[in-house]
Amino acid sequence: MKLLRHQAAASERVHSSHWGTFFVSGRPEQLLVRPNPADPDPSSLLRNIPDAARHSARIAQPVIRRGWLDGGPGPDKRRGRDEYVAVSWTEALDLAAAELQRIREQHGCGAIFGGSYGWSSAGRFHHALSQIHRFLNSIGGYTAHVASYSSGASDVILPRLFAPVLTQRTAVVWPDVAAHTELIVAFGGLAVKNAEVGAGGVGRHTVRDALQAAKARGARFVLIGPLRNDLRTALDAEWIALRPATDVAFMLGLAHTLAVEGLHDRAFLQRCCVGYEAFERYLLGESDGCPKSPEWAEPITGIRAARVRELAREMAAKHTLITMSHSLQRAEHGEQPVWMALVLAAMLGRIGMPGAGYGYSLGTTGNVGKRPPIVPMPSLPQGRNAVSSFIPVARLADMLLKPSEPFEFNGQRLHYPDIRLIYWAGGNPFHHHQNLNRLREAFSRPQTIIVNEPFWTATAAHADIVFPSTITLERDDISGSSEDNFLTPMHKVIEPYAQAKDDYEIFSELAARLGADGVYTEGLTSAQWLRRLYDDLRAQLSAKGHVAPPFEEFWDSDELELPTHDGFAGVLKRFREDPLRTPLQTPSGKIEIFSETIAGFGYADCGGHPRWIEPEEWLGSARAREFPLQLVSNQPSSRLHSQLDFASYSQETKIDGREIMRIHPDEAAKRDVADGDVVKVFNDRGAFLAVARLSREVHPGVVQVPTGAWWDPVEIPGEPQGLCARGNVNTVTRDVGTSRLAQACTGQLCLVQVERFRGAVPPVRRYAVPTQTASDTSGTP
């Protein structure tokens, strides 16, 4: 355990973000940001930070939506289109507290939805999700959400088959990949841009170097997916450009070859797995009369049967690692590729060997695949939620549009709660959620929406009460992740903008008005909480025989490096050696190729073993006759989700403020689209504008646009639903669950049509505040 100092200048303060540690100095209007010099591959996303502090999109003071202030609480379709009235903090807090109290008394705490989804800060104390959940628990509870938009299908299915996702993230570690892996077969790719970020910060960016070290040692890479740049060009990867949403069919073709040619490891399957025999009957066609051979897979995937067989044989002959990105399970039946890739790795028999086996989500963030610290990172206790109702996070609009209606989830039959009030802090559902026209309708249904937010996002613009919150540079905190072994002091760099307050201060004021101040704050200031969190970490380290420096020494340093352990990779090694003495935390204690539990749920869309289930929206479906292009909406390279979309680095990847759509030249020619044309991307759910960029690194039949553009709906003639001028892909994505098992996000893929936009191109509006008026008390803090 070491305290580290990196020779910061006297004027610099150390701080941290989701994309790494940095040093910052200067005035709010002209901040200077320097990456941590100890980071071997610092993220370019740090270039967005200087634009955050004083941008015109900052919220300056509390405001109330005019319709809510004049007409009182209630459903209102003017949300997102109404003006706001600036008020004092006292008035805004009094109104919010009174409304929370009214909902509690008239409808119960289950009528409050505690929304917080996003990466608002790498800090562990000023973590918006922890803060809002602690506050709502202190006043009686709330309806919660479970799982995530990023990995909702795997969050649910992996614990039943192998390990929870957070545990699974260390099933394979990068040092072992660099030292041992001979063949990496990457389903959905290993995009280094995704590894630039980490939920609690990234102490060191190591993915690029590990991949390069494996290549230098002779490892070979195979990218399986529709986008060539999902694996670094420098790795000389073979690109198998299969049709989107057909990965399971391709994997089945590989598995069929292994089975019929006797290349699978029967000893491993018998010793460490359950249910292979039932799966093999399906694979060979004994249960349904349809062998899942490479010839069967060829017309589905577009990949020659001979190439499938060649790859299967190579995978069996080499020390092979199968990786799978989050993207594959963010689609219809997203549970199936997660499960099938695990089965394929089990058939190869190398799970538990260093640098081989199954690496779900490896490379998805900067900390996946690292050896974790020996103790978890400190976090703010959230207390106990006295309300039992919850939804899978991606079913947000369904909850608001279908109160009291039944739904199934993970073996349970539940009912959507009747939500009267949404309180959101941290995150932007008008980025994460699908089918935004439907979400806008859903957001018109509650009686009241309250938002803590630094910027005028679409979420803030759909709220009734808006509290301006601080950004991370405006407060002290501690950064750290339970997947990374660096703890960083985050020093306050600048004073809060205008009247902005910390979430902790906002919730403390509300808790006091609602009689819960002692429960929420425990009488502690922010500074005292930071010390408590750090001291909790010191106690955990001490229990394991490690002495951490006192808080003052840590706070005066640049980083604290913590000792690590082998993570799930070590567990798998011991499991492989003796599965009876060191079982997995699954119902059988083994890898579940067939799950009796899932089979018992009776779901037609997710049975007892993985299988090919044809999606409704793929290039082989009937719907493709009307909308013949598959839109891939992947993570952006120049921002995290929609964070700081207005900032300079994010803007560099746009043209005139619009997102770029990559399209194959053959598809562009069919539509008379030239490079640089403004195009309309549309289906029957909505439309958005983008700028065409012709590229042969995109599969024919596919167009690619990154997520994260701030929703900018424009009403124009001929477009009954309007269109997004900036290019928010979720204007057209489909809002349905992956299956009845996980009910997860399917926003990665959908079918669209593209045409050259021939009308007057609407300008991209600047990132700024909605129309506001002032009240008599608006200047009073």
Catalytic site positions: 117, 119
Helix axes 276-283, 247-260, angle to 10 degrees: 100
**DSSP labels, 460-522:** GGG-SEEEEB--GGGS-EEE--TTSSEEEEE---SPPSTT-B-HHHHHHHHHHHTT-HHHHHT
* DSSP helix, strand, coil percent of the chain (3-state; round to 5): 35, 20, 45
The dihedrals phi and psi of 104, each to the nearest 5 degrees, come to -60, -45
Residue 373 buriedness (CB in 10 A; 0-12 / 13-18 / 19+) = buried
| 589 three-class SS | coil
Strand 357-360, strand 320-324: pairing: parallel
What CA–CA distance (Å, rounded) separates 761 from 689? 9
Q: Are the beta carbons of 484 and 198 closer than 8 angstroms?
A: yes
The dihedrals phi and psi of 13, each to the nearest 5 degrees, come to -120, 145
Residue 637's identity, in one-letter code, is: S
The 3-state secondary structure of 350-398, one letter per residue:
CCCCCCCEEEECCCCCCCCCCCCECCCCCCCCCCCCCCCCEEEHHHHHH
Instruction: Name residues whose C-beta falls within 8 Å of residue 465's C-beta, 6 or more positions apart in sequence.
Output: 62, 63, 64, 65, 68, 92, 95, 96, 99, 448, 449, 450, 451
Q: What angle do CA 608, 612, 617 make, to 5 degrees?
A: 125
Instruction: Name residues whose C-beta falls within 8 Å of residue 342's C-beta, 6 or more positions apart in sequence.
Output: 161, 162, 358, 360, 591, 593
| Diameter of the chain measured on Cα atoms | 81
Q: Tell me the Ramachandran region of residue 656: left when phi exceeds 0, alpha when psi lies from -120 to 50, beta otherwise.
A: left
What CA–CA distance (Å, rounded) separates 517 from 93? 14
What CA–CA distance (Å, rounded) separates 294 from 292? 7
The 3-state secondary structure of 176-228, one letter per residue:
HHHHHCCEEEEECCCCHHHHHCCCCCCCCCCHHHHHHHHHHHCCEEEEECCEH
What CA–CA distance (Å, rounded) separates 554 from 244? 48
| Distances 228 to 201, 662, 665 between C-alpha atoms, Å | 28, 12, 15
| Distances 26 to 2, 72, 770 between C-alpha atoms, Å | 29, 44, 30
Q: Are the beta carbons of 527 and 338 closer than 8 angstroms?
A: no
Could you tell me which of 177, 201, 154 has the C-alpha nearest to residue 326?
Answer: 154
